[in-house]
Structures are given as structure tokens and as C-alpha cells.
Structure 1
């Protein structure tokens, strides 16, 4: 599991992104359950996620952040990244962000994807 915390902070809301390799829908469910074993992620307002499974197509869950799963899924499709779940976590800060929340989801997924495509350090 790879986590990038404090990706975005806006009007009190804070965002993080997590992800890793999974196998099947049960793997996605297990990944999210493992993430929520960490108290701060369990208390998050939303843990929206998506994954393209090589053996079962696309799966996503908005977790109450309507449309967030579709945004994540679209970015995974463009990156052609399969069998890797990406979870965008939001801790609500008390102010509705409107459409800005989608820009923040995109920023989080980009932060995760940047780490996925980074080349390993050279000796």
C-alpha cells in the first residue's frame, strides 16, 4: 500500500490518496478494509475508490462523494492501469466545495499516478 497524505487542503477539507495492487473485487474490498483499520482513515468523511480489474472490468465506489469514483476510474482508464486500486480520502472541513472537489480528486489521483510512473533511483 502506498499513501500520499496532505495532497490538498481547501476550506478546511483535507485530501489524501492511497493505492496498491489488488486481485479481483475481493482484493478491492480487502484493501479498503485494511485502509480503514487506520483510525484516521476510518473516521474520514469519504474514501472514494476505483479499480480496473483484468478479470472483471471496472469497479468503483463513491462512498458518499457523488461522482468521485467515476473521476478516479476515468483517470485509471486513461493511464491504462489495471489491477491497481486508487482511494481518494476526504476529511470534510465544514464548507461545501461544489465542483472544486472534483479538481481535488484529480489532483490526488495525479499525485498517486506520478509515483506509479516514477523511475526507480539509479545507483
Structure 2
């Protein structure tokens, strides 16, 4: 398929605890829709974990991961937020905020130790998150008589699994309206496969193009 995938996101918040030389690093990752929501998550974590010495943050938002920000929150410059942000960049994720709350254990880790600790904290949390892929897809809709809807819907369920497409919930009116989101290169293939399956009785119409979340396979 020619339509390349965009940066991914995560399906739900996740937390991970890392302990190094008695210092505790508790990472909170959350999917967000923009900067404002990311700031709300950060504020909530600060309030919840008020007794932590630091709440270092990194966030990436936007369809193309075009807005990024990090904060060391009192740790030596460049030892916390930057390595956290670098992990998010390297993993190619977006619409995500990472907050690492640190409780100091009494042993200084040094600049290199902090960089490794904060980077590892975010990477380990991402390892536990459910990653949601994204891609540009074209909406294809079809009107199907109610008597044929079950048969056509079963065909579409099989088709999307083989073509990295996404099926919408059916809408029922005078006829059943079935819709799915298909890679641009697969629109013609869907039309041909649908015609073969229905004897040409069902017409598929291509519509808008937008970014969609891709289900895990």
C-alpha cells in the first residue's frame, strides 16, 4: 500500500514503576487530544503525587507529531525531559504525554544516571502500553437491502482483516448503510471484490479521506 502509516498513539493510560538506588521513578503515560489535555494530565499527576520531588514531563501531539515539549522540573538541565522526549520520538508516537514522578532515594545518580533512568522509565512504560497504529484511509460506503445486509457484512468483516482496513458500525434506515475506511490503493480492489461477491448488485462509493486508528491484528 502506498499510504504510509502515521505516528502511532496508545489505547489507554499506563503506569510503570522503576527503582534505581532507592530512587523511585513512577511513569504515567496517557493518550491526549492536544496540548490543553496534556497540561490537565500533568496538573492532575502533580496533585495526586504531591509528595514526589520531581514531576518531569514530555509530550508529543498532532497528526504528524509536530508539537513537542519537555520539562526537567528541577532536575539538572537536559537529564530528564529531553531523554523522555527522545524515547517518544524514537518510538514514533504522538498524542501522548509522559509524566515521570521521582521520589529521591538519597543516592545521587549523576547526569548520565538520570538520563538513563528517565529514558528507561518512559521506554518501559511504552513497552506495557497497547500501541494503536494510524493511517490515512478513504471512506467507502454502500447501500445494501436489508435481506442482503448480513451476507455483505460478513464478507466485509473478512475483507478488512486481509486489507488493513477499518469497518464502521452499520446504519439502518430504508436500507442498510455499510461503511469502511480503506487504503487508497485498495479502493479499486474493494470495488472489484464486492462486485464479484454480489454479482455487481451493490455499488461502492468512495468519499472523504481522513486519519483513522487501525485495530490491532
Q: TM-score scaled by structure 1?
A: 0.83
For 1:23 and 1:86, locate their aligned partners in 2 and report how far apart those are by CA, in whole Å: 14
**In the aligned structure 2, how far is the partner of 1:77 from the partner of 1:4?**
19
Q: Which residue of 2 aligns with 1:82?
A: 94
Query: How far off its partner does 1:74 sit?
Result: 0.8
Q: What is the CA–CA distance in structure 1 between the aligned matches of 2:28 and 2:15, rounded to whole Å?
A: 4
Q: List structure 1 runs of 4+ shifted beyond 6 angstroms.
A: none
Quick check: 2:54–2:74 contact (8 Å CA) kept in 1?
yes
Kept after mapping to 2: 8 A contact 1:51/1:73 = yes
Query: Which protein, 1 or 2, shows the higher relative CO under an 8 Å CA cutoff with sep ≥ 6?
Result: 1
Give, in angstroms, the shift of residue 117 of structure 1. 4.6
Structure 1, gaps ≥5 residues long? 119-123
Count of equivalent residues = 115
C-alpha RMSD over aligned residues? 1.9
Q: TM-score, normalised by structure 2?
A: 0.49
Give yes or no for the alignment of 1:26 onto 2:32. no
1:38-94 Cα deviation digits (max 9, x unpaired): 2xx211111111111106511111111232111011111111110111111211122
1:15-94 → structure 2 map (5 Å cutoff): 15-38=25-48, 41-54=49-62, 57-65=67-75, 66-67=77-78, 68-94=80-106
Kept in 2: contact 1:17–1:108 (CA 8 A)? yes
State the match for 1:121 in structure 2.
Answer: none
CA distance in structure 1 between the aligned counterparts of 2:106 and 2:14, rounded to whole angstroms: 28
Indicate the SS of the match to 1:58: strand
Partner of 2:20: 9
Looking at structure 1, the residues matched to 30 and 59 of structure 2 have their Cα atoms a distance apart, in angstroms, of 10
Match of 1:104 among 117, 120, 125: 117
